[in-house]
Amino acid sequence: MSAAVIFPPDQAPTTARNPSLATIAWRALTRKSGRIIGVLILLFFISMAIFGPMLYPKQLPINGANLYAPPSWAHPLGTDFEGTGVLAEIVTGSRYVLSAAALAALFTIAVGTFMGIVSGYFLGLTDNIIMRITDFILTIPGFPLLIVLSTIWSFGSPIAMGVVLGLTGWGGLARAVRSQTLSLRERGFIEAARGLGLSNGHIIGREILPNIAPYIAMNLLLSVTGAIYAEVGLFFLGVIPFQANNWGVMLNLAFGNGAMYTPQSLLYMISPMACIMLVTFGIVLTLDALDEILNPRLREG
Protein backbone atom coordinates (compact mmCIF):
# COMPACT_ATOMS: atom_id res chain seq x y z
CA MET A 1 0.00 0.00 0.00
CA SER A 2 1.43 3.33 -0.94
CA ALA A 3 1.03 6.72 0.64
CA ALA A 4 -1.10 7.78 -2.28
CA VAL A 5 -3.98 5.66 -1.04
CA ILE A 6 -4.53 8.00 1.81
CA PHE A 7 -3.15 11.26 0.64
CA PRO A 8 -4.43 12.86 -2.50
CA PRO A 9 -1.49 13.18 -4.87
CA ASP A 10 -1.31 16.96 -4.65
CA GLN A 11 -1.03 16.82 -0.88
CA ALA A 12 1.68 14.24 -0.64
CA PRO A 13 4.91 16.21 -0.59
CA THR A 14 6.98 13.14 -1.37
CA THR A 15 8.94 13.22 -4.59
CA ALA A 16 6.89 14.38 -7.50
CA ARG A 17 6.73 12.11 -10.52
CA ASN A 18 7.24 14.72 -13.18
CA PRO A 19 9.74 16.30 -13.71
CA SER A 20 12.51 14.20 -12.22
CA LEU A 21 14.09 15.10 -8.92
CA ALA A 22 17.41 15.78 -10.59
CA THR A 23 15.81 18.30 -12.93
CA ILE A 24 14.06 20.01 -10.05
CA ALA A 25 17.26 20.11 -8.04
CA TRP A 26 19.20 21.55 -10.94
CA ARG A 27 16.57 24.21 -11.58
CA ALA A 28 16.46 25.16 -7.92
CA LEU A 29 20.25 25.36 -7.75
CA THR A 30 20.64 27.50 -10.82
CA ARG A 31 17.80 29.89 -9.98
CA LYS A 32 20.07 31.87 -7.67
CA SER A 33 23.83 31.96 -8.18
CA GLY A 34 24.43 31.97 -4.40
CA ARG A 35 23.03 28.46 -4.12
CA ILE A 36 25.61 26.99 -6.48
CA ILE A 37 28.29 28.75 -4.48
CA GLY A 38 26.86 27.27 -1.29
CA VAL A 39 26.95 23.74 -2.65
CA LEU A 40 30.48 24.27 -3.98
CA ILE A 41 31.66 25.51 -0.59
CA LEU A 42 30.23 22.43 1.08
CA LEU A 43 31.76 20.09 -1.51
CA PHE A 44 35.10 21.83 -1.04
CA PHE A 45 35.11 21.30 2.71
CA ILE A 46 33.82 17.75 2.47
CA SER A 47 36.62 16.78 0.10
CA MET A 48 39.07 18.61 2.34
CA ALA A 49 37.91 16.46 5.24
CA ILE A 50 38.11 13.24 3.25
CA PHE A 51 41.32 13.69 1.27
CA GLY A 52 43.10 16.60 2.94
CA PRO A 53 44.69 14.77 5.86
CA MET A 54 46.37 12.36 3.40
CA LEU A 55 48.54 15.22 2.15
CA TYR A 56 50.19 15.83 5.50
CA PRO A 57 52.24 13.74 7.92
CA LYS A 58 50.45 12.50 11.03
CA GLN A 59 52.55 14.76 13.23
CA LEU A 60 52.81 18.24 11.75
CA PRO A 61 56.38 19.58 11.99
CA ILE A 62 57.14 22.48 14.29
CA ASN A 63 59.77 25.09 13.59
CA GLY A 64 60.97 27.31 16.42
CA ALA A 65 62.70 29.68 14.00
CA ASN A 66 59.57 30.43 12.03
CA LEU A 67 56.94 31.67 14.53
CA TYR A 68 53.91 33.63 13.26
CA ALA A 69 55.48 33.75 9.81
CA PRO A 70 53.68 35.71 7.09
CA PRO A 71 52.20 33.74 4.16
CA SER A 72 54.75 31.95 1.99
CA TRP A 73 54.73 29.16 -0.61
CA ALA A 74 55.41 26.59 2.07
CA HIS A 75 52.79 28.02 4.41
CA PRO A 76 50.13 29.89 2.40
CA LEU A 77 48.31 30.92 5.59
CA GLY A 78 51.45 31.59 7.62
CA THR A 79 52.48 29.73 10.75
CA ASP A 80 51.37 29.51 14.37
CA PHE A 81 53.14 30.07 17.69
CA GLU A 82 55.20 26.92 17.15
CA GLY A 83 55.99 27.55 13.51
CA THR A 84 53.52 24.95 12.24
CA GLY A 85 51.74 25.77 8.97
CA VAL A 86 48.24 27.14 9.61
CA LEU A 87 46.87 25.71 6.37
CA ALA A 88 48.14 22.26 7.33
CA GLU A 89 46.35 22.56 10.67
CA ILE A 90 43.13 23.71 9.03
CA VAL A 91 43.16 20.85 6.53
CA THR A 92 44.06 18.11 8.99
CA GLY A 93 41.60 19.48 11.53
CA SER A 94 38.67 19.51 9.14
CA ARG A 95 38.10 15.76 9.30
CA TYR A 96 37.31 15.67 12.99
CA VAL A 97 35.16 18.79 12.88
CA LEU A 98 33.01 17.72 9.95
CA SER A 99 32.66 14.04 10.85
CA ALA A 100 31.70 14.81 14.45
CA ALA A 101 29.26 17.45 13.24
CA ALA A 102 27.70 15.07 10.72
CA LEU A 103 27.33 12.34 13.35
CA ALA A 104 25.92 14.80 15.86
CA ALA A 105 23.38 15.99 13.30
CA LEU A 106 22.34 12.41 12.59
CA PHE A 107 21.90 11.63 16.26
CA THR A 108 20.02 14.86 16.89
CA ILE A 109 17.68 14.15 14.00
CA ALA A 110 17.12 10.55 15.05
CA VAL A 111 16.31 11.36 18.67
CA GLY A 112 14.35 14.52 17.88
CA THR A 113 12.25 12.93 15.17
CA PHE A 114 11.51 9.88 17.27
CA MET A 115 10.50 11.90 20.32
CA GLY A 116 8.46 14.36 18.27
CA ILE A 117 6.51 11.76 16.31
CA VAL A 118 5.84 9.56 19.32
CA SER A 119 4.71 12.58 21.29
CA GLY A 120 2.43 13.96 18.60
CA TYR A 121 1.10 10.57 17.55
CA PHE A 122 0.21 8.96 20.86
CA LEU A 123 -0.64 12.18 22.72
CA GLY A 124 -1.96 11.73 26.26
CA LEU A 125 0.47 10.74 28.99
CA THR A 126 3.30 9.87 26.58
CA ASP A 127 3.04 13.31 25.04
CA ASN A 128 2.93 14.94 28.42
CA ILE A 129 6.04 13.20 29.67
CA ILE A 130 8.04 13.78 26.50
CA MET A 131 7.08 17.43 26.36
CA ARG A 132 8.09 17.92 30.00
CA ILE A 133 11.49 16.42 29.23
CA THR A 134 11.74 18.59 26.15
CA ASP A 135 10.95 21.73 28.15
CA PHE A 136 13.58 20.72 30.65
CA ILE A 137 16.23 20.13 27.98
CA LEU A 138 15.37 23.39 26.26
CA THR A 139 15.54 25.40 29.46
CA ILE A 140 18.95 24.19 30.56
CA PRO A 141 21.55 26.18 28.66
CA GLY A 142 23.36 23.81 26.30
CA PHE A 143 27.02 24.71 26.77
CA PRO A 144 27.05 24.61 30.57
CA LEU A 145 25.33 21.22 30.38
CA LEU A 146 27.94 19.88 27.96
CA ILE A 147 30.69 21.22 30.17
CA VAL A 148 29.49 19.41 33.27
CA LEU A 149 28.85 16.27 31.23
CA SER A 150 32.46 16.35 30.11
CA THR A 151 33.44 15.32 33.66
CA ILE A 152 31.71 11.95 33.40
CA TRP A 153 31.96 11.18 29.73
CA SER A 154 35.07 11.61 27.65
CA PHE A 155 33.74 12.70 24.31
CA GLY A 156 36.98 13.16 22.48
CA SER A 157 36.20 10.84 19.58
CA PRO A 158 33.85 11.99 16.81
CA ILE A 159 31.30 9.28 17.65
CA ALA A 160 31.21 10.01 21.36
CA MET A 161 30.98 13.71 20.58
CA GLY A 162 28.15 13.09 18.13
CA VAL A 163 26.21 11.02 20.67
CA VAL A 164 26.50 13.66 23.38
CA LEU A 165 25.51 16.51 21.10
CA GLY A 166 22.63 14.42 19.79
CA LEU A 167 21.39 13.55 23.27
CA THR A 168 21.48 17.14 24.46
CA GLY A 169 20.38 18.95 21.32
CA TRP A 170 17.13 17.31 20.22
CA GLY A 171 14.68 19.48 22.14
CA GLY A 172 13.84 22.07 19.51
CA LEU A 173 13.47 19.54 16.74
CA ALA A 174 11.23 17.29 18.84
CA ARG A 175 8.91 20.18 19.51
CA ALA A 176 8.77 21.10 15.83
CA VAL A 177 8.24 17.53 14.64
CA ARG A 178 5.50 17.12 17.22
CA SER A 179 3.63 20.11 15.87
CA GLN A 180 4.07 18.82 12.32
CA THR A 181 2.64 15.49 13.40
CA LEU A 182 -0.22 17.27 15.11
CA SER A 183 -1.00 19.20 11.96
CA LEU A 184 -1.12 15.94 9.98
CA ARG A 185 -3.48 14.68 12.64
CA GLU A 186 -5.65 17.75 12.30
CA ARG A 187 -5.89 17.24 8.57
CA GLY A 188 -7.38 13.85 9.32
CA PHE A 189 -4.46 11.81 8.02
CA ILE A 190 -4.02 9.67 11.06
CA GLU A 191 -7.73 8.97 11.59
CA ALA A 192 -8.07 8.04 7.92
CA ALA A 193 -5.14 5.62 8.17
CA ARG A 194 -6.52 4.13 11.38
CA GLY A 195 -9.85 3.74 9.67
CA LEU A 196 -8.16 1.60 7.07
CA GLY A 197 -6.92 -0.63 9.86
CA LEU A 198 -3.23 0.20 9.47
CA SER A 199 -0.90 -0.49 12.37
CA ASN A 200 0.73 2.29 14.38
CA GLY A 201 4.15 1.31 13.08
CA HIS A 202 2.92 1.45 9.51
CA ILE A 203 1.22 4.81 9.97
CA ILE A 204 4.28 6.34 11.61
CA GLY A 205 6.79 4.82 9.23
CA ARG A 206 4.93 4.99 5.94
CA GLU A 207 2.50 7.85 6.32
CA ILE A 208 3.84 10.36 8.81
CA LEU A 209 7.56 10.04 8.24
CA PRO A 210 7.46 10.57 4.46
CA ASN A 211 5.32 13.64 4.99
CA ILE A 212 7.68 15.31 7.40
CA ALA A 213 10.82 14.00 5.66
CA PRO A 214 11.49 17.28 3.82
CA TYR A 215 11.31 19.14 7.08
CA ILE A 216 13.70 16.68 8.71
CA ALA A 217 16.14 16.92 5.82
CA MET A 218 16.29 20.68 6.25
CA ASN A 219 16.90 20.29 9.96
CA LEU A 220 19.63 17.78 9.37
CA LEU A 221 21.69 20.41 7.60
CA LEU A 222 20.78 23.04 10.14
CA SER A 223 21.86 20.76 12.99
CA VAL A 224 25.27 20.43 11.39
CA THR A 225 25.94 24.13 11.97
CA GLY A 226 24.82 23.86 15.59
CA ALA A 227 27.01 20.83 16.12
CA ILE A 228 30.07 22.55 14.66
CA TYR A 229 29.62 25.48 17.05
CA ALA A 230 29.15 23.15 19.98
CA GLU A 231 32.21 20.98 19.40
CA VAL A 232 34.47 23.86 18.46
CA GLY A 233 33.24 25.66 21.57
CA LEU A 234 33.97 22.71 23.82
CA PHE A 235 37.47 22.29 22.47
CA PHE A 236 38.06 26.01 22.75
CA LEU A 237 37.12 25.92 26.43
CA GLY A 238 39.57 23.08 26.94
CA VAL A 239 37.22 20.89 28.94
CA ILE A 240 37.75 17.94 26.60
CA PRO A 241 41.10 16.22 26.33
CA PHE A 242 42.09 16.23 22.69
CA GLN A 243 44.08 13.62 20.82
CA ALA A 244 43.97 15.09 17.35
CA ASN A 245 44.12 18.55 15.97
CA ASN A 246 40.91 20.38 14.99
CA TRP A 247 39.64 23.91 14.55
CA GLY A 248 38.44 24.21 18.13
CA VAL A 249 41.82 23.04 19.43
CA MET A 250 43.48 25.61 17.18
CA LEU A 251 41.42 28.39 18.76
CA ASN A 252 42.11 27.02 22.23
CA LEU A 253 45.87 26.95 21.64
CA ALA A 254 45.85 30.34 19.97
CA PHE A 255 43.95 31.86 22.89
CA GLY A 256 46.02 30.06 25.48
CA ASN A 257 49.35 30.93 23.90
CA GLY A 258 48.83 34.63 23.68
CA ALA A 259 48.03 34.92 19.98
CA MET A 260 45.31 37.35 21.05
CA TYR A 261 47.92 39.91 21.99
CA THR A 262 49.88 40.13 18.77
CA PRO A 263 48.71 41.43 15.42
CA GLN A 264 51.16 39.05 13.69
CA SER A 265 48.88 36.12 14.46
CA LEU A 266 46.07 37.56 12.31
CA LEU A 267 45.91 34.68 9.83
CA TYR A 268 46.32 32.09 12.55
CA MET A 269 43.45 33.57 14.55
CA ILE A 270 41.15 34.27 11.63
CA SER A 271 41.61 31.07 9.60
CA PRO A 272 39.69 28.59 11.78
CA MET A 273 36.95 31.16 12.39
CA ALA A 274 36.69 31.90 8.70
CA CYS A 275 36.37 28.18 7.96
CA ILE A 276 33.56 27.79 10.49
CA MET A 277 31.75 30.76 9.02
CA LEU A 278 32.31 29.57 5.47
CA VAL A 279 30.86 26.15 6.24
CA THR A 280 27.86 27.81 7.89
CA PHE A 281 27.47 30.09 4.92
CA GLY A 282 27.58 27.14 2.53
CA ILE A 283 24.97 25.31 4.58
CA VAL A 284 22.63 28.28 4.69
CA LEU A 285 22.86 28.77 0.92
CA THR A 286 22.33 25.06 0.28
CA LEU A 287 19.35 25.06 2.62
CA ASP A 288 17.81 27.80 0.54
CA ALA A 289 18.00 25.54 -2.53
CA LEU A 290 16.89 22.49 -0.59
CA ASP A 291 13.88 24.38 0.68
CA GLU A 292 12.76 24.95 -2.88
CA ILE A 293 13.47 21.37 -3.99
CA LEU A 294 11.57 19.84 -1.10
CA ASN A 295 8.76 22.35 -0.88
CA PRO A 296 6.58 22.07 -3.99
CA ARG A 297 4.71 25.27 -3.26
CA LEU A 298 7.86 27.38 -3.56
CA ARG A 299 8.71 25.78 -6.85
CA GLU A 300 5.68 27.20 -8.62
CA GLY A 301 6.47 30.79 -7.65
* Residue 168, CA distances (Å) to 200, 227, 253 in order: 27, 11, 26
Distance CA 125, CA 132 (A): 11
Q: Which range of residues in 54-62, 84-92, 110-118, 228-236 is near other proteins by CB under 8 A?
A: 228-236
35's CB contacts (< 8 A; 6+ apart) are 28, 29, 285, 286, 288, 289
Q: From the list 142, 156, 210, 296, which residue makes contact with other proteins (rule: CB under 8 A)?
A: 142
Cβ neighbour number for residue 117 with a 10 Å cutoff: 23
We find the least distance from the C-beta atom of residue 107 to other proteins, in angstroms, to be 20
Q: Which range of residues in 113-121, 144-152, 156-164, 207-215 is near other proteins by CB under 8 A?
A: 144-152
Q: From the list 125, 151, 197, 297, which residue makes contact with other proteins (rule: CB under 8 A)?
A: 151
* Residue 281 sits in the site that holds other proteins (CB under 8 A): yes
Question: If DSSP codes are grouped into helix, strand and coil, which group holds residue 79?
Answer: strand
Q: From the list 20, 23, 47, 136, which residue makes contact with other proteins (rule: CB under 8 A)?
A: 136
Distance CA 146, CA 164 (A): 8
- Size of site (CB under 8 A) for other proteins: 39
Residues 247-276 that bind other proteins (CB under 8 A): 251, 255, 260-263, 266, 269-270, 273, 276
Nearer to other proteins by Cβ, of 7 and 268: the residue is: 268
We find the least distance from the C-beta atom of residue 198 to other proteins, in angstroms, to be 36
Q: From the list 59, 124, 139, 301, which residue makes contact with other proteins (rule: CB under 8 A)?
A: 139
8's CB contacts (< 8 A; 6+ apart) are none
Q: Are 84 and 63 contacting, i.e. CB atoms less than 8 angstroms apart?
A: yes
Q: Which residues bind other proteins (CB under 8 A)?
A: 136, 138-145, 147-152, 172, 225, 229, 232-233, 236-239, 251, 255, 260-263, 266, 269-270, 273, 276-277, 280-281, 284
